[in-house]
Structure 1
Amino acid sequence: MSNSVVAKRYALALFELSQQHGQTGSIQEEMKELKKAFRDNKGLGELLDSPKLSSTKKKEIIANIFKGVNPLVLNALYVLLDAKRLNEVQNVFDEFLTLVDDAAGIAEAKVYSTRPLTEQETNALSATFAKKIGKHSLRIENIIDPSLIGGVRLQIGNQIYDSSLSAKLDKLQRKLIGS
C-alpha cells in the first residue's frame, strides 16, 4: 500500500463510483491487469509523461491502448492525466485494490515457510489469522525461506507472527546467555 494522500483520494473516488454502479468486481480485475501493464511497460509511463505530446494526444493513446476498459477506469486515467498526476497511477491502483479488499474483509499476508504450503495449510492459516485481525480471510503469498529451519513466519501489514524454529532457537539462546 502506498503512503500517497493523492492516490488515496483518487482511489476512494473511483471506489465509491464503482460501488454506485455495481461494478467493483469487474473494475478490480481490470485494475490488476492495468497495474501489470504499467509496471511491465516502463515506456508507457514515460510516453504519457512526455511534455512533447499534448493532453489530447495522450488521451488518444490511452483510449487506443486500453480499448474495452471500463469507462469509469478510462475516465479515472483521463482525470489523472488532466491533473498531471499520472505518475501516481500505480499508487491509485494499489489503493483501489486495498479498498476493495477491505470492503470484502480480505487482507494480504505473506507466509514464510521452509517448503510450499498445501492448500489445507493455507486455508487453516487464513481462517485462524483472519479472525485475529478482524477479517473474513487472507490472501496468502507463500514465500520459501530455508533459514527458518521449520515452522512459519506470517506477516500481515506491519504485524509479524513468528513461530519458526529459528526464532524459537534465537529466543532460547538469548535466555541462556542472559541467565
Structure 2
Amino acid sequence: MAEVVAKTYASSLYETAKAAQCEEEILEELRVLDEAFLEDGDFLILMQSPELNRSEKMDLIDRIFRGKVHPYTENFLKVLTEKRRIKHFHAIFASYNDIYNSDHNRMEFTAVTAVALSDTLKERLRRKLKMTTGAEIVLHTQVDPALLGGMVLRFQNEQIDASVKSKLEDIRRKISAVIA
C-alpha cells in the first residue's frame, strides 16, 4: 500500500514539475528535505499530530518553507499533510528520484570501501560504470573499515560484494564444510 501511495504522489509531482521544467530543482529540494527529516523526524511527527488543526499545519508550512523552496515543493508538503500522507515522505522522495533517474537515463551507485576512495579512483569507477551501463552515473561513496579491503557496490536493489571480508567468509564456509 505504501509503495502505491509513494508512486502515485511522486508521479503526480514529477509530471507537474516536468511540465514546468523544474523537475531537477524539485528533486534537489526533496533530497535536502528527506535528509533533514531522516536526521530529525520531529517535523513529520508534528504534521501528523491531531494536536494541530489543518489551518495551523498549513500556517506552519508557510512560515518554515515560503520563499525558501519552490512553490511546488511547499504546496506538495501541504497536500501530503492535508491528505495524511506526510508519513510516506521518504518513500515518495525515493520514488520521485527513481522516476527522475529513469527519465534522464541516470543510475545511482553506492561504493562501500574499507578506506575512502581518491577522486581519481571515483572518476575511474564512474567512467567504468558509465561504459558498462550506458547511463549517466551518480556515485555515492561510504567507508566501512570492517570490509578490510575491496568493495561492495550497491545499485537499485542489487549488491555486488567484492570485499575481502566476504571472500574470507567464503573461505571459512568452505573449510567448515570440509571439516564438518
TM-score (norm 2): 0.82
Name stretches of at least 5 consecutive residues in structure 1 with no aligned partner: none
Match of 1:17 in 2: 16
CA shift, 1:109, in A, is 2.1
The aligned amino acid for 1:144 is: D
| Residue aligning to 2:50 | 51
1:15: how far off? 0.7
Does residue 106 of structure 2 align to residue 106 of structure 1? yes
Structure 2: which 5+ residue stretches go unaligned?
Answer: none
| TM superposition shift of 1:166 | 3.7
Give me the whole-angstrom Cα distance separating, in 2, the residues matched to 1:47 and 1:164: 42
Number of the residue aligned with 1:79 = 79
The answer to whether the 8 Å contact 2:105/2:135 transfers is yes
Note closer, same or farther for the CA distance 1:138–1:39 as it changes in structure 2 (3 Å cut). Answer: closer
Aligned equivalents of 1:167, 1:138: Cα separation in 2: 25
User: d(CA) in 1 for partners of 2:25 and 2:128?
Assistant: 29
Give the superposed CA RMSD. 2.4
Secondary structure in 1 matching 2:117 = coil
Q: Which residue of 2 aligns with 1:64?
A: 63
User: CA offset at residue 158 of structure 1?
Assistant: 2.6
Q: Structure 1, residues 3-45: CA drift from partner, whole Å, max 9, x if none?
A: 6210111011111111100111221221122223333343222
Identical counterparts, % of pairs: 26
Q: Does 1:6 align with 2:26?
A: no
**Aligned structure 1 segments of 4 or more residues deviating by more than 6 angstroms:** 176-179
Match of 2:122? 122
Secondary structure in 2 aligned to 1:38?
helix
